[in-house]
Structure 1
């Protein structure tokens, strides 16, 4: 499918860090949920991939993005889509109702990532797939940098450490957890995200230790087929 089939406005509003619709390997007939759907591009892509027998939901908490997404849906002429207003920590869908949960650089922005993962697990059908793009930290960061991360701009602000991300997925109940690096961010990338003052306060050794520590990742997991009683 070519990008030209999706409205330009949706493309410009998709400020993510990966391509979760490709990652998820969607199949006709599946029901998909995009957490933090923004302008709706990933939802529209998903709806095309699952076809008329499938369905794609987008969840966003901002009226402006929901309005843009609905306009883009109309412009694209795609019917098997619904955009929902709400927060990703409290998904307004019933349990066991979604085959695939996707997200594009949004979960890392949540203040309660464990709750987001529990909610994703709840709405997934047994055997359902969690397939998101997100920003992840590999290893520990210098304390000065970790303290200042809350004030950063962009996706790196709330990035989880890789082992913590795995642990939260496991605690939510997920199995078959994989975290695949898709891009490694240099020190210059971190500085340009809004952390120039924080980086300047680090020693040369600390700066060298941070270089390449932030990654864009494909995070995959599955809800087990059989649930424990």
Structure 2
């Protein structure tokens, strides 16, 4: 499953991305401008390593967050993919609380067991460093693992289990159907947040567009849009 960022949660997922691209994402909850997140990024392949950079901004003038991430993904062996991501996080909480900022890192592995099955593990924020002398800023640590299985030439199933400190285990599941090579339908669910999602994707030459609608207890209704332009020749 993917989050609101322009890159998959597991940084190893881009290891087989041989062509450069630029991407733009937007996500909104409750249809409120202050709860909108914008993401822009890009990637390029250099010496069999995919290097990518992304920036995300959410909030308004009174409360906002900014993320900047740099990522490297590579095929270590024929069936083993790896990736690492370094993130800078800035949080502004108004004049009363001021600004805090820090850095953290993610790491991931994907083992392609066969042509139809892959297993992945993802470590999010295993450690963080605060750059503010008076405030501590650290992301929520998370460990996740999942399996992707191609049920047919045009369909796949994904199952994930995720654990954060002091929070219940979250189970995720999703399916994808590719109807024509240019149109994809997706659906998914999460247990901890009682989230249900539906979405679709379109391919127009070198442009990919994805839209999704989700509903959950927290944060309620959410709308997501993402676009990607790939520099490959079609």
- TM-score w.r.t. the length of structure 2 is 0.29
| Bigger helix share | 1
Greater fraction strand: 2
Higher relative contact order at CA 8 Å, sep ≥6: structure 1 or structure 2?
1
TM superposition score normalised by structure 1: 0.29
